[in-house]
Amino acid sequence: MNIHTYKYLLVAATTFLVMMITIRSAHADLRVMATGDSHTTVYAQQDFGHGNLISRVYEQRRDDATQLRVNFGGITTQTYINDGRIADVLAQDPDVIQLLLGTNDSANQFDLATYSNNMTAIINAFTGYTNGRGQHPVVVVATVMPLIAPDPSATVATPFIESYNTWLRGQSQVRDDFVLIDFYNTLTSQSGWESYYSDGAHLGSAMTPYYSFGEYPAGYILLAEQFRDAALNAIPEPASLIVTATLLGLPLFSRPKRN
Please check whether residue 23 lies inside any domain of the structure.
no
The reported pLDDT for the residue numbered 60 is 86
d(CA 181, CA 96): 14
Please check whether residue 247 lies inside any domain of the structure.
no
Q: Name which of 89, 51, 90 is nearest 70 in CA terms.
A: 89
Are the CB atoms for 120 and 81 separated by under 8 Å? no
d(CA 18, CA 134): 16
Q: Which of 29-38, 200-209, 216-225 has the lowest mean pLDDT?
A: 200-209
* More confident of the two residues 247 and 164: 164
Mean pLDDT rounded to a whole number for the chain? 82
Please check whether residue 11 lies inside any domain of the structure.
no
How many domains are there within the chain? 1
Please check whether residue 75 lies inside any domain of the structure.
yes
CATH number at residue 49: 3.40.50.1110
- Full-prediction pTM beyond 0.85? no
Mean pLDDT for 1-29 is: 53
pLDDT tens for residues 83-131? 999 999 999 999 999 999 999 999 999 999 999 999 999 999 999 999 9
Q: What 3-state DSSP class applies to 68?
A: strand
User: Is it the case that residue 162 has pLDDT exceeding 60?
Assistant: yes
Q: Which of 9-18, 51-60, 106-115 has the lowest mean pLDDT?
A: 9-18
Please check whether residue 2 lies inside any domain of the structure.
no
The reported pLDDT for the residue numbered 51 is 55
Confidence of residue 46 (pLDDT cuts 50, 70, 90): low
